[in-house]
Amino acid sequence: MPDAKLTRDAIRPDDESTLADRVTRLLVDQIRGGHYPVNARLPTEKFMTELYGVSRTVVREAISRLKSEGLVETRQGSGTVVLDPKASQVFRLARNDQSPAVGVVRMIELRRGIEAEMAVLAAERRNATQMSAIRRALKAIDRAVQAGGDGVDEDLEFHLTISRAAGNPYFTELLSLLTHALQDAIRITRHNEARRADLAAGVRAEHEAIAAAIEARDPVAARHAAYTHMQATSIRIQQVDRSFWTGDSGAAAQRLARAHLGEVIDERAAPKRRR
């Protein structure tokens, strides 16, 4: 365990760096030096605030930067876990000239065809109960946003509800297999869209157009609305400035860029195979 006083001295800001800068550098050095090995958990926020003598805001900013560098990730039930620093270095060198949006755009391109066909089938096959579920899902997004949430889970559920109305269980199963990656993509796009009222209103209108076409049993309009929504989402994410790709958005984008579809499917399918 490092000496608390020495640790606090090491992260005191100078004229050229902030506390967050110093804490980040210290943690990076400790991770790359093996003090925190791969798959080890970082100490809790409370522990680090006491150890370094800084606020939780500083610690959270440092952790956010580590996520952006691909050095750590947050795992449910495990806290903040250390990733392989060698893989992080390779990732940065291989992609330093590539737009951070590339992984998000790839996922949107995949969804574009899936969502368009789902909407067509839903318009042709949906029943009254399924249409009511689509409308409820759309309202749930609005409620989540009005309550101060990001609406990510509700957005995904809206699309899953359409998949169920399509009458082909493979669509729902495919989206379920891709849930983790889809949540990253939706989280990034919704965070971007929430920054401006016009973007948020545009997304709401696009969702409404999909629901209205399905309700009208118009498969042509449904395909167009779903395709347009995905295309507009792709354009919006490619137009953001680089400052957006910091913190959680940058970390999620890196996960998407590194993701291999086969591994995602294998990981999601493994629990079913073990039953």
Sequential pLDDT tens for the chain (275 residues) = 454 444 555 555 554 457 888 888 899 888 888 888 988 999 999 999 998 889 988 898 888 888 867 788 888 777 899 887 766 554 443 344 456 778 788 888 888 999 999 999 999 999 999 999 999 999 999 998 888 887 888 998 999 999 999 999 999 988 887 776 777 778 888 888 887 788 888 899 999 999 999 999 999 999 999 999 999 988 888 887 777 776 666 667 766 666 665 555 555 555 554 44
Coil, helix or strand for 145? Answer: helix
Q: Which of 88, 116, 141 is the last residue of a domain?
A: 88
Greatest alpha-carbon span in the chain: 69
What's the structural domain count of the chain? 2
Q: Which of 88, 113, 140 is the last residue of a domain?
A: 88
Residues 226 and 98: their CA atoms lie apart, in Å, by 28
Residue linked to tokens 């994410």: 237
pTM over 0.75: no
Q: Which of 63, 88, 113 is the last residue of a domain?
A: 88
Residue 95 lies in a domain: no
Rg (CA), the chain: 21
φ/ψ (deg, to 5) at 2: -65, 150
Residues 209 and 127: their CA atoms lie apart, in Å, by 18
